[in-house]
Structure 1
Amino acid sequence: MVIPGGPQGIEATMALKTLVLFSLLVLGLLVIVGAQPPAFKRFQERHMDTGPGPFDPPYCNKTMYQRNLLKRNFNTFVHESLKDVHDVCWEENYIFKNRTCNNCHKSSNRMSITECSIIGRNPIRYRTKNSKKYIVIACDGIWPVHFDGSE
């Protein structure tokens, strides 16, 4: 029997509060994940690789094939944490290559990237070039959705 105000009642109340707080946290995370635009997932698939790098010459051939990006003549992979790339969306708007882009942002620091350039079509082969550059991305609100380039 639980006596209100007794030690068992206090433990039951604390357990209930903990359960409610945990449930709210899980619900909040689900809402955040569900609110991500589909373009953000495409951005991750096409441009994110949090591996440490630098990468050897076969990297682009292997990665472009694994991610089904073989129709692209050029692609860039960013080797930074998703948080660091996500933070670029908080930078001020940036005009890149004299284009009007209301939602472009340039990283405040150089980031580790790998550029993949097509060098052969039969079979498809890519050149792998590792470097550290500023990245320019377009954001949908707070979500990176398009890799616009690097400089």
Structure 2
Amino acid sequence: MAQERFCILFPPLVLVLLVLGCVQPSLAKESQAEKFLRQHMDPDTSTVTPDYCKQMMKRRNMTVGYCKPKNTFIHEPLPDVQVVCFEGTVRCEKGKLNCHKSTSKMRITYCHLKKGSKYPNCDYETQQLQKSIVVACECRQYETVHFDGFV
């Protein structure tokens, strides 16, 4: 009887523990997945102006205290980016093995700090591209947590 009850309750318990492992323990701190969304996702953009990077880097808090040297914004729906976690595994720039490369090209904007630009006047070059992206995924590939590059 006790063994039957254990067999019934054990699978849901394991599932709950796996889900809790993906949840950020501190509500005040931005999770890696939330940071990815803030720093890299801009799916509703149909047009990108020459000032896009300067405006977005400031709006998304990437020029607070210093000028982030480079950043990439992805202009695709979030589900299209999340599905990359189930595509080809590749080695990340820093050697980890949780990166995945998209099989299709995506609309992105690459922002890089203009030469001579210094904090607090962060000025960026804006470059629109169509490239395959490489992202890192965690929690059994349910969350996109890092933009690793484009190819």
TM-score by length of 2: 0.72
Match in the other structure for 1:134:
132
Match in the other structure for 2:101:
106
Over alpha carbons, which structure has the higher Rg? 1
* Structure 1 position 117, deviation (Å): 0.6
Question: For the residues of structure 2 that align with 1:104 and 1:36, how far apart are their CA atoms?
Answer: 20
Structure 2 residue 34 is matched with structure 1 residue 41: yes
- Consecutive unaligned residues of structure 2, counting only runs of 5 or more, are 1-18, 25-30
SS at match of 2:88: coil
| Equivalent residue in structure 2 for 1:86, among 82, 88, 96 | 82
* Structure 1 position 96, deviation (Å): 4.7
The number of residues matched between the two structures is 119
TM-score by length of 1: 0.72
Superposed CA deviations along residues 7-39 of structure 1, whole A, max 9, x for unmatched, are xxxxxxxxxxxxxxxxxxxxxxxxx8x955511
* Structure 1 position 150, deviation (Å): 0.3
Superposed CA deviations along residues 61-119 of structure 1, whole A, max 9, x for unmatched, are 1100111102310000000000000000011311255x532110000100000011101
CA contact (8 A) 1:42 1:145 kept: yes
- Consecutive unaligned residues of structure 1, counting only runs of 5 or more, are 1-31
SS at match of 1:112: strand
Map 1:1-150 onto structure 2 (within 5 A).
35-36=22-23, 38-70=31-63, 71-96=67-92, 100-119=95-114, 120-121=117-118, 123-140=121-138, 141-150=141-150
Q: Alignment identity in percent?
A: 36
Q: CA RMSD in A?
A: 2.1
* Structure 1 position 46, deviation (Å): 0.5
